Amino acid sequence: LQCVYHGWCFGGAGDCKFIPQAPRDGPPVHTSSKACVAAYPSCVQNGILWFWPNTDPQYKDIHLKKMPHYIPELDDPSFTNTMITRDMAYGYEVLIENLMDPSHVPYAHY
């Protein structure tokens, strides 16, 4: 799983596998416990990622017990979808926040 904003890559258990901004000749910072994320039960069905945002052990295999609603039309080869883009107005504070986080620029604004 890869973050679309910073490019960090994670394994299925939430362990960090790669940090693009980390120096290649430096320490393996991706192995730090501070770089890991929570892992939630999930599955892909109809090209959609479904997840259950609960890390309690009782939910570990919930996707096997309670499958998401199946949408047969999405598996039909003649099905097409449309990508929609819209412009959103935002204030200067969003711009400033982005300027204060330069580590995302090489990845998100390639």
Phi, psi of 59 (to 5 degrees): -100, 5
Residue 24's alpha-carbon distances to 2, 15, 27, 49, in angstroms, are 19, 19, 8, 32
CB 61 within 8 Å of CB 41: yes
Note whether residue 51 is domain-resident. yes
Q: How many domains does the chain have?
A: 1
**What range defines the domain where residue 19 resides?**
9-108
Judged against a pLDDT cut of 90, whether residue 99 lies above it is answered with: no
> Can you give the pTM of this predicted structure?
0.65
Percentage of the chain with pLDDT > 90?
A: 20
Note whether residue 95 is domain-resident. yes
* Angstrom distance (rounded) from CA 104 to CA 98: 8
Look up residue 101 and give its two tokens.
Answer: 């986080």
Note whether residue 4 is domain-resident. no
